Structure 1
Amino acid sequence: MALTGILPGRLGFGTAPLGNMFRAIPDEEALATVEAAWDQGIRYYDTAPFYGAGLAEARLGQVLSTKPRDSYVLSTKVGRVVLDEPESDVPDFGEKGGLFEHGRPNKMLHEWTTAATERSIEDSLKRLGVDRLDIVWVHDIAQDFHGDQWLQKFEEARTGAFRVLTRLRDEGVIKAWGLGVNRTEPIELTLALEEPRPDGFLLAGRYTLLDHEHALQRLLPMAQEQNVDMVVGGPYSSGVLAGGTHFEYQQAPPEIIERVNKLKALTERYGIGIKAAALQFSLAHPVSAAAVPGATRPSRIAEDVAALNETVPAAFWQELRAQGLVSPAAPLPDGA
């Protein structure tokens, strides 16, 4: 089933920050942020076991488990199994290594096998306090592996997670499945397979104002041809497009800060918010079904809703392209 037939709107809520990403967030602040998303009418919520070793799922579930289950769409991910034992070594999560140092101390395994996938789903349901999931993403294949190692892990997922999720979809247990990654290659490889067939994918950080060239070259044309939808994760590029200092999970380098400053200057000249430009750009591609920015403060939710609905003049988009700040191949919002 196409994601556009499942998702209740173009704006969802990404819960990575609820796993204490970058900082320790008080429970009351995290729960208030989820309630704010609900009050603002957001009905699609995306989470993952990786986010704080289950912390984000547990916090999200505290709120969503009190809402009518048929009134919202919920997605989580498989690929990391959270264990009850504490991590004794410094975990190696590659570029995401320091993201959740304030999360739960539980050890996590990287596994995309049949058994790990089934266990991961069962554990997620318990943490979330719900009886079913709508969408399941296969998380971070290729994220922490190099050379031929990621291809070995992809094969593990193809014969494990992919087949489990296809069966669950065919049985009606879930509505859809796909990949949730921040690399284009595993999605391209999946779309090249004859089977199993994903319904969509969540691409984090690779279709934003700051980084979209690579996705436009091969992945998005493939997805469009096959009628496979995209959920845009990280539309603000780890926060640097929303007033933060991080890009790609690290402190933003000088060249990124310079480009952000150029974007800010242009948005200020046209009297619009940079979040509006970032969010609407990511949603302008025909493959984009929704975007899921994350937040840890209730006020940020209202900002996201306002950014989605803000009127951005066509002249802004035209000048954005004229200044070379976006690819000539990138679709722009209607009217530009």
Structure 2
Amino acid sequence: MRIRESLLAGPLGFGTAPLGNMFRDIPEDEALATVDAAWDAGTRFFDTAPFYGAGLAEIRLGEALSRRPRSDYVLSSKVGRLILDEIEDPSGRDHGEKGEIFKHGRPNKIVPDYTADGTMKSIEDSLKRMKVDHIDFVWVHDIAQDFYGDRWLAMFETARTGAFRALSKLRDQGVIKGWGLGVNKVEPVELLLGLSEADPDATLLAGRYTLLDHEMALQRLMPAAQRKKVDIVIGGPYSSGVLAGGRHFEYGAVPPAIAAKVEKLSALCTEYKIPIKAAALHFSLAHPASAAVIPGASRPARILEDHAALKTKIPAAFWQELRKRGLVAEAAPLPIDR
């Protein structure tokens, strides 16, 4: 099932990576209040993953949603990594920059597993952590991360004969509504869409269709997704936070060229008196292949900003000037093109 057919309250969802203590040690009450703020603002699509804080985000999300009817929201999580009972130092994990990102998460050891058995075990564990009886959409997570190097193709092959088939079976049995990848690279999604044997319903693409980075996805991925009728859920619309005033881009320091582009975008938004968050969300959703956008947040106020941003009326002149100044690809669909 295409994910856009399942959304209960529009295209704005909540990406819960920050609830796993992403970049900082978030107090429990603040994390739960953020989910409550999302619900009260109308959010009914929540995305999470075992990897976020070694299960912490799932635990917190499940706790916050435990007072809500399960039929009233759409839930997606991920497979590809198992959270073990074995304890280790989170800051020493062999996950490249990701070890630093979730160094404040739970200390459980994380191991990659894209097999069919690993997929079933991951889903079972996620259900227990969130204390729910089903997950709607399941994404095969981070199959092409830089820290995997050349190994990612072998992992993709394992997923092709393991996770992909297991998830297709669960979908066909009605256990889940659909599946796809959950990645921040274009290449694995292209590879998936080219498989005659695989039939994904949607895919979560993080950071690759934003105001700051969209050309590769625009040229190669989005048209293929449209042809295959595979919905794209846009994760990381603020590019790790730099488009929302944060200090990170691609989970690390902001390069000078990116900082310069953000400055130009911010100046244009100031000129037209619109928040840069509004421009970011509306841009990511303007492509016909985009079904939803799921910014992350760890404070209730940020949730309210996201909802206000999506409701912001942006004048056509802003989009015309954005294109005129070369701040987006010439062929990128804009709201005025509809």
Q: TM-score range with shorter-chain normalisation?
A: over 0.9
For the residues of structure 2 that align with 1:95 and 1:230, how far apart are their CA atoms? 25
1:103-252 matches, within 5 Å, as: 103-143=105-145, 144-147=147-150, 149-252=151-254
2:329 equivalent to 1:327? yes
Q: Which amino acid aligns with 1:84?
A: D
Residue in structure 2 matched with residue 5 of structure 1 by the alignment = 5
Q: Secondary structure at the match of 1:250?
A: coil
CA drift of 1:107 comes to: 0.2
CA drift of 1:335 comes to: 5.6
Q: Which runs of 5+ in 2 are unaligned?
A: none
Residue in structure 2 matched with residue 271 of structure 1 by the alignment = 273
Q: Secondary structure at the match of 1:308?
A: helix
Residue in structure 1 matched with residue 259 of structure 2 by the alignment = 257
For the residues of structure 2 that align with 1:279 and 1:290, how far apart are their CA atoms? 10
2:282 equivalent to 1:280? yes
Q: Which amino acid aligns with 2:58?
A: E
1:13-24 matches, within 5 Å, as: 13-24=14-25
For the residues of structure 2 that align with 1:243 and 1:133, how far apart are their CA atoms? 33
Q: Which runs of 5+ in 1 are unaligned?
A: none
Q: RMSD between aligned alpha carbons?
A: 1.1
Instruction: Judging by fraction of residues, say which structure has more helix.
Output: 2
Asked whether the 8 Å contact 2:274–2:314 carries over to 1, the reply is yes
Q: Which amino acid aligns with 1:104?
A: R
Q: Which amino acid aligns with 1:282?
A: S
Give the fraction of aligned pairs with identical amino acids, expressed as a percent.
66
Moved over 3 A (4+): none
CA drift of 1:88 comes to: 5.6
Residue in structure 2 matched with residue 60 of structure 1 by the alignment = 61
CA drift of 1:94 comes to: 2.6
For the residues of structure 1 that align with 2:197 and 2:13, how far apart are their CA atoms? 29
Could you tell which deviates more after superposition, 135-144 or 90-99? 90-99
CA drift of 1:238 comes to: 0.3
1:41-92 superposed Cα distances (whole Å, 9 cap, x missing partner): 1000000000000000000000112210100000000011000111268212
For the residues of structure 2 that align with 1:334 and 1:158, how far apart are their CA atoms? 39
CA drift of 1:98 comes to: 1.1
For the residues of structure 2 that align with 1:268 and 1:311, how far apart are their CA atoms? 14
For the residues of structure 1 that align with 2:295 and 2:239, how far apart are their CA atoms? 10
Asked whether the 8 Å contact 1:314–1:335 carries over to 2, the reply is no
Q: Secondary structure at the match of 1:216?
A: helix
Asked whether the 8 Å contact 2:138–2:178 carries over to 1, the reply is yes
For the residues of structure 1 that align with 2:217 and 2:100, how far apart are their CA atoms? 26
CA drift of 1:97 comes to: 3.0
For the residues of structure 1 that align with 2:197 and 2:67, how far apart are their CA atoms? 38
Equivalent residue pairs, number = 335
Q: Which amino acid aligns with 2:327?
A: L
For the residues of structure 2 that align with 1:334 and 1:266, how far apart are their CA atoms? 17
CA drift of 1:95 comes to: 3.6
Asked whether the 8 Å contact 1:141–1:181 carries over to 2, the reply is yes
Asked whether the 8 Å contact 2:116–2:162 carries over to 1, the reply is yes
